[in-house]
């Protein structure tokens, strides 16, 4: 077409393009501010197959799906779990949840449907326990890890996924089921019961305390058990108070009694604490290091202010861009 007769864009014709560009800018900068993986790229798929064992003596990966997943959610969960065509697939029901968790968790936490799902990949002996949670709101990863070590879960890559935020109790039951299927052997019922008790106490404390601090408290007490200490109820109570004070946890009398009773139950269980010592120390030291970092102390206070300022700046930029006069062609 002759350039003399080419139509010029109307003054507001570029506004939709500007809106799209501005929205994309806000989306990506906001995702950057929230950290790696906030936009759903990268981190998840790279870890899905980590730790797949090289030896053929152990079972293949096992996926346990919540029985009440909707068909569309089921496929999305399988993808986020990193499930492969050769994985063994099982299900976990709400009835199984209730059979294992009733009396430890309130009915409102257990719910009426089994949604959360889990994938367990066996790893080489000594490789340790790798854990990732997606859309699990009930308990922090550190608490999950502590309870799994108590149950005897080791040398495995574990990913727990739900299609939307849920408590994760179905996956907790499904995890034991998956691990036992992957290993070809059952976990000790006594240790599973102790782990569930630990999980329940941690979940309760996590409602009004920082979950990382709760995990650090329980980890330190289990380290003391592994070192051969805490032989009497008086020693246990003194240790709970001392460690809670060190971490800045203000425990109520009810909290104190719950933790003390839990440690007494753990002490009575037949657990090879010496064997667990290295893994317990790794978990608790990582948690303590995070808590002790000066950046951590101010992070939570600053992050809200930072994101608010960032958002206001981006909105201001967007408004100026949208209201700018369109350039002539």
Per-residue pLDDT reduced to its tens digit, 156-194: 999 999 999 998 999 999 999 999 999 988 999 999 999
Residues 138 and 90 grouped into a single domain: yes
Per-residue pLDDT of 230-270, as tens digits, reads 989 999 999 999 999 999 999 999 999 999 999 999 999 98
Both tokens assigned to 246? 């060190």
> Percentage of the chain surpassing pLDDT 70?
65
Asked if residue 282 is part of any domain, the answer here is yes
What pLDDT is attached to residue 238? Answer: 96
What pLDDT is attached to residue 211? Answer: 87
Residues 82 and 182 grouped into a single domain: yes
What pLDDT is attached to residue 139? Answer: 77
Residues 141 and 227 grouped into a single domain: no
Q: Residue 303's domain spans which residues?
A: 208-329
Give the 3-state secondary structure of residue 120: strand
Asked if residue 193 is part of any domain, the answer here is no
Per-residue pLDDT of 201-232, as tens digits, reads 998 998 889 988 999 999 999 999 988 889 89
Asked if residue 197 is part of any domain, the answer here is no
Per-residue pLDDT of 290-328, as tens digits, reads 455 565 555 445 544 554 455 455 445 545 544 554 443
H/E stretch holding 222: helix 211-226
What is the tally of structural domains in the chain?
2
User: Structure pTM?
Assistant: 0.66
pLDDT at 128 over 70: yes
Distance CA 327, CA 63 (A): 57
Residues 238 and 148 grouped into a single domain: no
For 129-148, the DSSP string reads: EEEEEEEE-SS-HHHHHHHH
Asked if residue 10 is part of any domain, the answer here is no
Residues 217 and 170 grouped into a single domain: no
The pLDDT of 147-158, averaged and rounded, is 93
Asked if residue 23 is part of any domain, the answer here is no
CB environment 259-285: b (16+ within 10 A), e (fewer): bbebbeebbebebebeebeebbeebbe
Residues 222 and 167 grouped into a single domain: no
Domain boundary residue, one of 124, 153, 187? 187
* Residue with token string 């380290």: 223
Residues 48 and 182 grouped into a single domain: yes
Residues 171 and 290 grouped into a single domain: no
Question: Which of the pair, 38 or 119, is modelled with greater confidence?
Answer: 119
Residues 86 and 168 grouped into a single domain: yes
Residues 71 and 107 grouped into a single domain: yes
Q: 158 exposed, middle or buried (CB, 10 Å; 0-12, 13-18, 19+)? A: buried
Residues 225 and 152 grouped into a single domain: no
Domain boundary residue, one of 126, 152, 187? 187
Distance CA 72, CA 51 (A): 29
Asked if residue 202 is part of any domain, the answer here is no
Asked if residue 285 is part of any domain, the answer here is yes
Asked if residue 14 is part of any domain, the answer here is no
């Amino acid at each position: 077409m002759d350039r003399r007769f080419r139509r010029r864009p109307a003054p507001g014709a570029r506004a939709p393009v500007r809106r799209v560009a501005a929205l994309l800018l806000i989306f990506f900068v906001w995702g950057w501010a929230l950290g790696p993986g906030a936009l759903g790229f990268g981190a998840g798929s790279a870890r899905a197959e980590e730790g797949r064992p090289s030896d053929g003596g152990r079972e293949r990966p096992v996926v346990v799906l919540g029985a009440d997943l909707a068909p569309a959610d089921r496929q999305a969960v399988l993808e986020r779990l990193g499930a492969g065509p050769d994985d063994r697939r099982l299900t976990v029901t709400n009835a199984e949840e209730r059979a294992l968790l009733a009396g430890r968790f309130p009915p409102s936490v257990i719910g009426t449907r089994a949604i959360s799902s889990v994938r367990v990949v066996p790893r080489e002996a000594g490789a340790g326990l790798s854990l990732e949670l997606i859309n699990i709101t009930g308990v922090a990863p550190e608490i999950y890890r502590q309870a799994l070590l108590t149950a005897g879960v080791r040398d495995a890559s574990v990913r727990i996924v739900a299609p939307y935020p849920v408590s994760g109790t179905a996956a907790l039951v499904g995890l034991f089921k998956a691990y036992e299927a992957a290993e070809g052997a059952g976990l000790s019922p006594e240790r599973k019961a102790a782990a569930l008790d630990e999980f329940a106490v941690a979940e309760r404390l996590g409602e009004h305390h920082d979950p990382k601090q709760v995990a650090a408290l329980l980890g330190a007490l289990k380290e003391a058990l592994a070192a051969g200490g805490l032989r009497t109820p008086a020693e246990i109570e003194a240790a709970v108070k001392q460690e809670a004070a060190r971490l800045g946890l203000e425990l109520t009398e009810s909290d104190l009694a719950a933790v003390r009773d839990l440690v007494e139950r753990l002490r009575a269980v037949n657990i090879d604490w010496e064997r667990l010592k290295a893994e317990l120390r790794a978990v608790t030291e990582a948690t303590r290091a995070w808590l002790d970092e000066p950046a951590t102390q101010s992070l939570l206070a600053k992050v809200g202010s930072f994101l608010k300022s960032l958002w206001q700046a981006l909105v201001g930029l967007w408004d100026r861009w949208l209201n700018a006069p369109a350039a002539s062609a």
